[in-house]
Structure 1
């Protein structure tokens, strides 16, 4: 089994295309991530003075300063430090405004709980209320570094993972057919099961290495540029997650999101292997795998009013594309009705990713066991 695994890993990692694609994508992303390190460090020295509890004294001081700064901004004579103070003032207003929205929403949910007789709606309202009540927006942190690291998952990271899986794994069984090696595979003394298992394990290792690669690069660039601070900021401090009901910090959100991305990526890996087991041409396997990921991707990009197309929106939310992207699971409060009980959208996608991996793993083995050796 160990020798089989080594051989399968060799066949995957010997493909020059995966290194070229990974290198090009990393180069493009590195250029996009580049920031002036000295400038960012200077900015942090200003922000650091305002980190911590948002107090009445801080607000009063900023209110007074902002009046003068706005006058200078009209003439374009404000200093860089004054621009930073203006940004800090807006961040304070952003967080306090969000806290006010939470209070209002909690009041609305309390009314629903007291009047709604439907068990599911009442339970969902109770769940959302409890989550919102635990969110703390009273502290401010400079979160540029963590925000960039998290943002990478659902802007470029999930695309890198998907592309590399398709390029690296789509031919894993299809090429065996075109080269005639499928006959050896089907009559292997190790047995079909062990041979297929070694391919699955090798593919999983490859997927893990891809994710580890872009995560390591992104983290290194962000930490070098911004430093390793800001992880105590609430998830809602990122504008993409302004309406998220989850009472977690960025430091807690990141490992959760990257783990969810990893599980979904493993699910997609097993889908691609299954497609490769069905298709007898590597190119066809690559196209079909790309279609499975690319169609939901294209729909999400093309249809701007997707929320108005209810059935399509629901279908897209459960696609492997959305599971790998992760972002939508942490945008707002979303649950699924499971026997009258609300199950959070992130929990549903985690279960879906695991079930997908299990089903397609068994399906691939079943397909290969039914194939016959050609005499």
Structure 2
């Protein structure tokens, strides 16, 4: 326990991680800052909240088409774009129209799946039959909360882990502290275990901290309405990312799952950094190697042949969204295993292997080498 406390103290005493964390939360949230008045928006949604009828959808289609045409005309005439209120209306009408588009597309897909005789088709059909989009309400708070993981938290977590954990072994090697630690009664394996547990605790605290920031700020700015809405309604700046998703999750259910996968991937990446640090004498080298592994999949993302493999990389799994946008499964002995489950298994196995590799490296490491 004393070793663990000491390792946590060494991590958290780094002033750079506190400064970086505050700075990155501010910068990442600015990129998602909602540009319009939530109070005005809530009032606008009140007339449309509740059960969605065919009449609602038809009226929304007319209003949506009118605003799209007006926006196009404004651009052609080199005039200012839509007013703030008109833009909010455009987004609201789009979501109402989206409910019909999603359900029609969903029904069409179910009919296609009925013709297929595979386990994957049966699984996807059963999932899609659970989707319902017959209720509507204001949902900006949940949308912004969910979006923060995809567009902000993945970067916050990555930088915080790389910055905070890169020196966990490397600094001791460079300062020659390994001579003392590896020759003491509490050296080697107990120390390695303390560092591993400290890295995991640090990861959990980073995730819990940004999640608290995310929830509280969005609650203050946008309220708590809309958590019961299906994820298919999620639309960020006219981008309906989950419109084709077969998962019948509410925003609240999805965010809990999203957070769990994000944390698991973060812990797995933290264990990788600890292992790399146990191999490197210089914390800067650990920093750049870890950063390269984390960022590389984003740079390779345009390669079609690598798409499946890159889906299960650290950065893709931490961002989560790509795992749930449509039906994706890997056939395992004739049984389809969904991508989110595969991603979790990959992260667990990778983390476990990093623990074994770290313990093996420390056990067999010569002092001063």
CA spacing shift, 1:66–1:170, aligned 2, 3 Å: closer
Q: Distance in 1 between matches of 2:368 and 2:291?
A: 30
Deviation of 1:176 (Å): 1.0
Gaps of 5+ in 1: 114-121
Aligned to 2:258: 257
**2:138 matched to 1:142?**
yes
Aligned to 1:242: 243
Q: Is the 8 A contact 2:171 2:281 kept in 1?
A: yes
Aligned to 1:117: none
CA spacing shift, 1:28–1:61, aligned 2, 3 Å: closer
Q: Is the 8 A contact 1:270 1:357 kept in 2?
A: yes
CA spacing shift, 1:84–1:328, aligned 2, 3 Å: closer
Q: Is the 8 A contact 2:63 2:93 kept in 1?
A: no
Deviation of 1:329 (Å): 0.3
Compute the RMSD of aligned alpha carbons.
Answer: 2.5
Alignment of structure 1 residues 61-76 onto 2, 5 Å: 62=60
Identify which of 351, 360, 363 aligns with 2:357.
363
Q: Distance in 2 between matches of 1:337 and 1:313?
A: 17
Q: Distance in 1 between matches of 2:81 and 2:310?
A: 49
Q: Is the 8 A contact 2:28 2:153 kept in 1?
A: no
Alignment of structure 1 residues 1-375 onto 2, 5 Å: 2-35=1-34, 39-59=37-57, 62=60, 84-113=88-117, 122-238=118-234, 239-300=240-301, 303=302, 306=303, 309-310=304-305, 312-373=306-367
Equivalent residues, number: 358
SS at the partner of 2:31?
Answer: helix
- Greater shift, 212-221 or 84-93, is seen at 84-93
Q: Is the 8 A contact 1:235 1:253 kept in 2?
A: yes
Q: Is the 8 A contact 1:33 1:221 kept in 2?
A: no
State the TM-score, normalizing by the size of structure 1.
0.88
Q: Distance in 2 between matches of 1:344 and 1:281?
A: 40
Deviation of 1:81 (Å): 6.1
State the TM-score, normalizing by the size of structure 2.
0.90
Deviation of 1:27 (Å): 2.2
- Greater shift, 337-346 or 178-187, is seen at 178-187
Q: Is the 8 A contact 1:96 1:138 kept in 2?
A: no
Q: Flag the structure with higher helix content.
A: 1
